[in-house]
Amino acid sequence: MGKTSTPSYSSGVVNINGEEKASHYKKGNTIYSNYNMSDREKKIYDFAQNSFLENLPNINVFSVDTQKSLQNQLNAYTQKGLQTINDFYTPMLSNLKNDIASRFGNFDNSIFMDNLSDIESNRADAMSALTQDILAKQNELYNDELNRRYNYLNFLGNVQNQSTANIMNYLQLAANNSSSGNSYNQYAASSQSSSPYKSYANTASALLSSSGNPYAMAAGAAIKLGSEYFL
């Protein structure tokens, strides 16, 4: 049998539209993987990362301006509720007074007092309900503000995660290309010093091992092992 030389290490590269995006190579005793981020990708990634870091410390802190804005919204909601109650009960009281005055000439009678008591009781219930609505609206405004902030942080995190996933996919493609090249180099080096039968076995083993199918890869490993002992 002839002397077998050590096959050279095959690098792997991924090109998109003529631009090298990722590479996988060996330098000395170290294996390197490199991704070439475009200027646009870098701006997007840096913006997402910097914005995330800037917003995270104050995620639950409301500035004076934010509190003022929320209070203004709450005040507007309160005024609208009060206006609705007044618009409903003020004409009712006015109609009651006009009716009693036209019928009795004064308000010193039980009919007026009973009707007035009913109206005031209903208006008090409406005011109490409005108070509860105002408290609920306050919680809603604050929760909406917090949800908006957390949704924005989630968006920034997703941008970073997607960028990282794209980088890892390109690096994996480059590593796969390198692996395919090294499988071929190993086969070529082995075929130069093997019998024809062992050459065929090495060819089959290399093809099966690089197929990605676990069963085929296992078969390729078995063929390679058998060729070492029997060919």
> CA end-to-end span of the chain, whole Å?
11
CA distance 194 to 188: 10
CA distance 76 to 64: 18
Backbone angles phi, psi at 24, to 5 degrees: -140, 120
Please determine, for residue 74, whether its predicted confidence score (pLDDT) is greater than 70: yes
CA distance 208 to 55: 51
What average pLDDT does the structure give for the chain? Answer: 82
Mean pLDDT value of segment 177-192: 80
For 77-131, write each residue's pLDDT tens digit. Answer: 999 999 999 998 888 877 777 776 666 566 666 666 677 778 878 889 999 999 9
Please determine, for residue 152, whether its predicted confidence score (pLDDT) is greater than 70: yes
CA distance 143 to 118: 38
Structure tokens at 36: 């070439």
Please determine, for residue 63, whether its predicted confidence score (pLDDT) is greater than 90: yes
CA angle 47, 48, 51 (to 5 degrees): 80
Q: What pLDDT does residue 120 have? A: 79
pLDDT greater at residue 158 or residue 107: 158
Q: What pLDDT does residue 2 have? A: 46
Looking at residue 150, its amino acid is: Y
**pTM of the predicted structure, to 2 decimals:** 0.66
Helix boundaries (H) for the chain: 39-55, 64-104, 110-191, 196-209, 214-230
- Fill in the DSSP letter of residue 7: P
Tokens 């006015």 -> residue? 94
Sheet hosting strand 19-27, strand order edge to edge: 12-16, 19-27, 30-35
Please determine, for residue 198, whether its predicted confidence score (pLDDT) is greater than 60: no
CA distance 147 to 142: 9
Please determine, for residue 35, whether its predicted confidence score (pLDDT) is greater than 60: yes
- Fill in the DSSP letter of residue 1: -
